A and B are shown apart, each in its own frame.
Chain A
Amino acid sequence: MEQITHQTIIDLIPAYALNSLPAEEADIVAQHLQTCAACRAELAAYEHVVDALPLAAAEVEPSAELKGQLMQQIRNTGQTAVPAPQAAPTSWQQFLRALSGFLAGPRWQPVGAVVVLALLIGGFFVWRQATMPATQFVLTPTEAAPGAQGIIEVVGSNGRQATLTVTGLPPLDPANQYQLWLIQDGQRTSGGVFSVQTDGSQTITIHAPQPLPAYAAFGITIEPAGGSPGPTGERVLGFNL
C-alpha cells in the first residue's frame, strides 16, 4: 500500500510542480513531501523544468515607453523596503521610536515637531559616524601606482558580496594581472583576479567566504596572469585597519 501511495505521488509531482493539481490532491502531495526525501528530490527536478519554461515563451517586446514609465514611477514612489528586513533596529532607532511615541500625544504635538527636527538635524552626523556599518572601504594607493583609486562596496544582506571599483591603475602586459587579497589573521584569500581597461578602470564582483567587514585588511598586488595562491608581486592599493 505504501508503495502504491508513493507511486501515485510520483505520478502527481509533475502537475504539482506546475501548480495544476486541484487543492485536495495538492494537499496530499504536500503532506507526503514532508516525510519523503525521494519525492522532494523528484519535485526539485520538475521545478527546474517549470522554471525553464518561461524561456520558451513567444517573445513579446515591451513598448519603448515602458522603461521610461518605470523609472518615472520609482522616482515618484521612492523605495520602501530597503534593505533586508531581518536587520535589528539600532539603539538610536529604538530611542527615536520611543520619543516619537511619547511626543505623539495631542498636547505635545507642536513642541514635538520642533524637538524632533532639532534632534534629527543635530544628531544626524554624530549618529551616522557612530552607527553606520562599514559597508565601504576606500583603498589607498602605494608608490607603485600613485594615481590609483579603489573602493570596495558591500552589497546584499549577508555582507559577503561586494564590488571592487578601481581607477587609475596602469594597464599590465598580458602576462600579468591584478589580484585582490582579503586578509584575516595573517591569512590572505584571493578576492578575484582582474585586468583593467585601457583607461585604467575596472569593476569586479567579490564573493567572499566571510562577511567583508570581518577582514582586517585588503590589498591589490600585481601577479602572473590567472593569479597566485598568495601575493608575490608589488602592492598597488591597500586598506588596513
Chain B
Amino acid sequence: MKKMLEVELLKLKNSWVLLVATLAPGFMVFQGVANFLRYYELFTSRGQNVWHQIYLQSSIFYVSAMLPVLITLIMVSIARIEYKSGGLRYFLTLPVKRSGVYAAKLIVGCMVCLFNVLVFSLSLLVAGKIINAPGSIPYDILARPFMAYIASLPVMIITFLLSINISQMAIPLGIGIGLALPSLLVANTRYWVFYPWTYPIMAALGGDFFEKAYFPFAAGFLIFVLLAFAGLRWFMEKDILD
C-alpha cells in the first residue's frame, strides 16, 4: 500500500491542485482578518475574544463555500489526471489491484483535503499573531476546522465517486460546486440533516445552540464508510472503456 500511495503522490507532481489547496485557505483567512480589521470596533465592542472573531470571520465562507468547492476540485483533479490522457487504462494494465488503486486514490484525496484544512488552521494562528490578538490562543479554533473536516467526509466520498466514475470532469465539477452553493441557506432550515453539504457548517459554526451536535460526525462517518465500500465494489467490477 505504501508503494501505491507513493505512486499516487508522484502522479500529483506539478499539478496545480496542491498549489490551490495551499493558497486558498490562506486567502480565506486573509480576507476574514481584513474584514475583522475593517469593522474592528463593531466586532470587539462587547469585549469579544479577538481570536474567536477572526476565526468566525474567516470560517463562514471557508466551510460553507470554499471547503466543499476545494474538496470537489481536489477529487476531480485526482481523477482527471487519470482520464485526461488515458493514464488509468494504462495504469490498470500494470500488476496493481483495483482495490489498491481505489483505496490509494481515496486516501490521497482525503489527505490533500486534510492538508488544506491544516493550512487554514495554521493561517489563523499566523494571522492572529500578526495582528497581535490579545490573550492566549483558544485551542477550539484549531479543533473546529478539524471537526469540519470530519463532517466533510460525505462530501469527499460523493465527489470522489463522481469523479472517479465519470470521465468527463464537467459533470462531477458541476454537481460538486452546484450542491455546495446553497448549503448556507439549507443549514438554516431544519432539513439540514438531509444535506451533507451543511455538515461542515454545523460542525464549524453550530455552537452549543443546536441540537444533535453529534449528528454531522456520526452521519458523516456512516455515509463515508457505506459509500466507500459501495464505490469500491463498483470500481472493481467496472469495465474500463475510456
Please indicate whether A and B come from the same complex rather than being unrelated chains: no
Question: Which B positions have Cβ atoms within 8 angstroms of A?
Answer: none
Question: Which A positions have Cβ atoms within 8 angstroms of B?
Answer: none
